[in-house]
Amino acid sequence: MRFKTGVLALLLLFSGVVYGDAVILHSTDAGLTWTSEASNCSQHLNDVSSWKLGNAVAVGDNGTILVRNSQTNVWVDKSIPGITEDLNSVMFTLAGAKFWAGGENGRLLYSSDWGNTWHIATSAPFTINCLWTDPNSTSAIILGGANGQLYSTTQGWLSSGTTEDLYAFAGHRCRTLPDWAFGNNGTCTGNYSGYPSYSGGNTAFRGATKVASGGLPIVACGAKGAIYRINHPHPMSSVSSGTTANLYAVAYSADCNSEEVYITVGSSGTILRSTNLGVSWNSVFSGTTRQLNGVSSWGTATTDIYVVGNSNTSCGIGIISDESTDTHSGLQASATTGTGMLTVRAENSTVTVELFDMSGRRVENSQASTEAGQAHFSFSVPRGIYVYQASSGAETISGKLVISQ
């Protein structure tokens, strides 16, 4: 989810552009140690999926698709020419040698030959934040996005029971539908699958175990180091991660000695590892300070795990405007420095606000109705400098939001 230049132009003075490859890390010992692999790619990588020893597919901004071959251990660009939408999610299906990838503007792609060649599928009716593949079908895909939207390529619209943005699916092997969908404001819904729904408070969930062996806990992660476990039929519960870093993805792996391992990744190169079913977590040296966005393992009988993240492309930020109020015709926004509060004045009844961190990753996407011409937003994100983009009707404005509490 790449930062849009139109937002930056209002806020920053540029002193040049620095490019560097997106980060890819590979572990062959179930996440104990990590080695960097060359991506030869300057785009941020948002997700990764693997299907057997040495093979994986990563997707990222600007339609990027990278495929790792176990024979050469090299990542090769397999992007489709002309596809420029950011790709947010990728997943392998057990039904044939097939991968699905989805992202911005409903873009949906698939490969039927282990990721070597890719084809364009019918687009979804919304931007795809997460997807789930039916292990018994090569065409049944579940898609999740903003405002609680859930869509099946074979069943049509599904009822999520929420209007919160959804960012991650979690489930066990051989499930036609994912057990749960996770999103903003602690959303954990099983409304569509027959599983109970839970609340994670105000946690902004961003990742969950896509696949776990039957009977093992589901783990979800989010902002400010939040980690939750679901050990069904027991309710969801919070556990201590030992970090305040934003966590974006989590994966499950069982090695050949049947050691159950969970790996969680996030901002500032954070990698956490658990060997007791997600009850406690230890920090592992990653060798990078880049934001890590995706993690994948084949799941069983392997010690191979892959992690992908941002490139170190920067905009050469020189000066950030100190203005806290931005005005554009009938749309105005006022940011309260320190608290993470944003008030938007609008002529229309609905306002949408996106919040980006300084690496360019969107960390919040909220919508509110105006009351007496105002809409109020509060963001639960770590301390730092952020950029907001507020939209109402045909108008869009942007500005700086400083959070110090």
CA distance 107 to 240: 36
Enter the tokens of residue 404: 């110090």
The answer to whether domain 22-311 has CATH 2.130.10.10 is yes
Q: What's the rounded mean pLDDT across residues 117-146?
A: 93
Identify which of 33, 382, 52 has the alpha carbon closest to the alpha carbon of residue 206. 382
Q: What's the pLDDT score for residue 392?
A: 79
Q: What's the pLDDT score for residue 275?
A: 93
Identify which of 1, 92, 28, 20 has the alpha carbon closest to the alpha carbon of residue 306. 28
Q: What's the pLDDT score for residue 327?
A: 40
397: Cβ–Cβ under 8 A, 6 or more apart, which residues?
326, 327, 328, 331, 332, 333, 389, 390
Q: What's the pLDDT score for residue 393?
A: 72
Q: What's the pLDDT score for residue 99?
A: 93
Q: Where are the domains of the chain?
A: 22-311, 326-403
Strands (E), 171-303: 180-183, 187-189, 198-199, 205-208, 218-222, 227-230, 237-239, 247-254, 260-266, 271-274, 282-283, 292-297
Enter the tokens of residue 263: 């790996």
User: pLDDT, tens digit, for every residue of 154-209?
Assistant: 999 999 999 999 999 998 767 788 999 999 999 999 999 999 999 999 999 999 99
* DSSP calls for 81-96: TT--SPEEEEEEETTT
Q: What's the pLDDT score for residue 89?
A: 98
Exposed e or buried b for every residue in 240-269, given b needs 16+ CB within 10 A?
Answer: ebebbbbbbbbbbbbbeeeebbbbbbbbeb
- 400 or 105, which is more confident: 105
| CATH (one of 2.60.40.3080, 1.20.1070.10, 1.10.357.10, 3.40.50.300) for 326-403 | 2.60.40.3080
When mean pLDDT is compared over 15-29, 214-228, 343-357, the highest value belongs to 214-228
Q: What's the pLDDT score for residue 17?
A: 30
Q: Are 23 and 309 in contact (CB under 8 A)?
A: yes
Identify which of 46, 7, 11 has the alpha carbon closest to the alpha carbon of residue 353. 7
Question: Sign of torsion, CA 131 282 289 184?
Answer: positive
Return the residue matching tokens 């939001």. 401
Lowest mean pLDDT among 96-100, 196-200, 372-376: 372-376
Answer whether residue 45 shows pLDDT above 80: yes
Answer whether residue 128 shows pLDDT above 80: yes
- 353 or 17, which is more confident: 353
Return the residue matching tokens 């990278």. 66
User: Can you say how many angstroms the Cα of residue 8 is from the centroid of all Cα atoms in its chain?
Assistant: 22
Q: What's the pLDDT score for residue 54?
A: 75
Q: What's the pLDDT score for residue 124?
A: 95
Share of the chain above pLDDT 90, in %: 53
Q: What's the pLDDT score for residue 307?
A: 96
Q: Are 124 and 102 in contact (CB under 8 A)?
A: yes
Q: What's the rounded mean pLDDT across residues 315-339?
A: 48
Q: What's the rounded mean pLDDT across residues 13-32?
A: 68
What pTM did the predictor assign? 0.74
- 212 or 280, which is more confident: 280
Q: Are 361 and 310 in contact (CB under 8 A)?
A: yes
Confidence at 257, pLDDT banded by 50, 70, 90: low
Q: What's the pLDDT score for residue 158?
A: 96
Lowest mean pLDDT among 194-203, 271-280, 303-312, 323-332: 323-332
Confidence at 254, pLDDT banded by 50, 70, 90: confident
Strand partners, 376: 343
Confidence at 376, pLDDT banded by 50, 70, 90: confident
Backbone angles phi, psi at 219, to 5 degrees: -120, 135
CA distance 195 to 177: 11
| Cα angle: 86, vertex 38, 115; to 5 degrees | 55
